[in-house]
Every structure is written in structure tokens, then in C-alpha cells.
Amino acid sequence: MLHPDSQQLIQLALAEDIGTGDVTTAACVSEDTRARGYFLARQPLVLAGTDVLRAVYDARGGVDHLELLREDGDYIEEGERFAEVVGWARTLLECERVALNFLQRLSGVATVARQYAELVEGTKCKVLDTRKTTPGMRRLEKDAARAGGVVNHRIGLYDAVLIKNNHIAAAGGVRQALEAARGCGLPVEIEVRELDELHEALAYGATHLLLDNLSPQQAGEWIHIVNGRAKVELSGGITLDSARDYAEAGADFVSVGAITHSAPAVDISFRLEAFGQMKL
């Protein structure tokens, strides 16, 4: 089941697009026309968003049957059908763009996530997503990232402690920030940007470090200093070209904002055919 936040987003998306009614469909298509349709990949992709597809039709009504031929996380070939739907033609036409918008966006996220996950295979490193998500779509985009094979970082500001440079400045230093966060009952991670901060964080018992904006060579040197005393996450400008280098530097994690903030929508089509009329 989708989270209530996602259900609400689907309702908003339908209201935004349909408004007071689909005037084109109302003008051209009889209300008693039945139809079947299918979703088709127009490029290779990793599928995500099938729960949203079902929720879109459930929210609108008028659909008798939705068959998912593939599931989230599956690799879909160009030209492959992955879902079929039967219902009132008007409903299928009204829901077409909203369904495609979600599928294209979320499958785009999953496809990029898979690229990053494959790049670090064979190392101990795991790829993390971030909070750099589309407003209102965080849970859906993180579900898509997970379907693509990466690990979800914290969902928001409420489920883990991540002490960043601005928190350190406001708290008065690395030691003060760590001491204040100790005992909060949540996982604690701290960002360090200078070697003296690294040594200070380790001295005061940091168990999870975020090292930001280092080159792969610098990252390897800092990880050597850590020497297993804490888990190490690397972030900052990590791309498809550099992810493997950072993983081989010895990182436990690399976090990549591009998985959600820069993933291009993939090309998916919806094809419909009417097959008769039925008494309402």
C-alpha cells in the first residue's frame, strides 16, 4: 500500500490534470465505450511506479482489470509491454497523462539508480540516495531508487541525525555537536571537511563519518586514517564516471543526489484500442 502522502499526491495530480472534466474525451468518446490499453517501453529502462499506476486507476474508478506483466526493479527492453488495463475508455484516456508522468519519472529514477548500483558491484561500497528529491514525491522517488538497487538514506530530518558543517558551526564545534547528539536514540552521522575535524570526530567516538568533496585519492588517504574505526560515506560531485573510483577508495557508502534530482524521465507510451460498447 502506498503511504497516505503518496495517495494524496495522486489525487492532486488527477485534479490538476482533469479539473472540471476532460473536454476532449467527452466530445469525442461515447461514455459507454469500452477499451483496453497497454503500457510500452520506448527505450531500455528499469521499471518503477507500478503501485502508483494501480492507485491512479483506483482513485478514478472505471477500470475492471489491471495486469502488471512486470514488477518494479525489472529491466524492461525497448518495445516490451509491462502492463495492460481494461475499463471504460473515458477513464483510461483521463488517466493517461497522470499515469505516464509518474511512470516516466519514477522509472527514470530507478534506471539511473541501477546504473550507479552496477558500477560499485564487487566492492564493499553501497550507493545511497539523498533528500534532493522533487517536493512532494520523496517517498515515491526513494521507492524508485530502492527498486533500482540503491539504499535509501534517511527519509527526512526526523529519522536520523546527520550533523553537517552548519550544525557544527551552530553547536560550537565537532566535539560539542557530537556530545549534544549522544543519547538521542537515533543513528548519528557527522560531516567532516578538514583533517583536524576528522581526527576530532574520531577522538570523540564518531561511528559514521560523511566526507564531502574529496577527490578519490584524498578519500583513500582519509579512509586509511579512519582505519575501520567508523563507517565512511563519501559525497559531493560523485558521478557515473567517478563512482567506481570512490568505491575502490574504500568507502562504505557513496551518496548521490543525481539519482533523484537529475534523473531524466524515460520514454513510455500508452496505447489504447476500443472494443465495443456496453450498457451503463
**Active site positions, annotated:** 97, 132, 164, 191, 212
276 DSSP 8-state letter: E
Phi and psi dihedrals of 38, rounded to 5? -145, 155
209-213 CB contacts, 8 Å cutoff, 24+ apart: 209/233, 210/162, 210/164, 210/234, 210/235, 210/255, 211/235, 212/236, 213/237
Q: How do the residues of the chain divide into helix, strand and coil, expressed in percent and rounded to 5?
A: 40, 20, 35
Which run of H or E residues covers position 212?
Answer: strand 208-212
Q: Which of 144, 59, 68, 48 is nearest to 95 (CA)?
A: 59
Interatomic CA distance for residues 168 and 188, integer angstroms: 13
Question: Which residues neighbour 235 within 8 Å (Cβ) at sequence distance 6 or greater?
Answer: 130, 210, 211, 212, 213, 254, 255, 256, 257
172 DSSP 8-state letter: T
Q: Write the CA distances from 276 to 32, 57, 84, 127, integer angstroms.
A: 8, 20, 17, 50
For residue 194 the three cell numbers come to 578538514
Find the length of the chain: 280
Q: 3-class secondary structure for 218-238?
A: HHHHHHHHHCCCCEEEEECCC
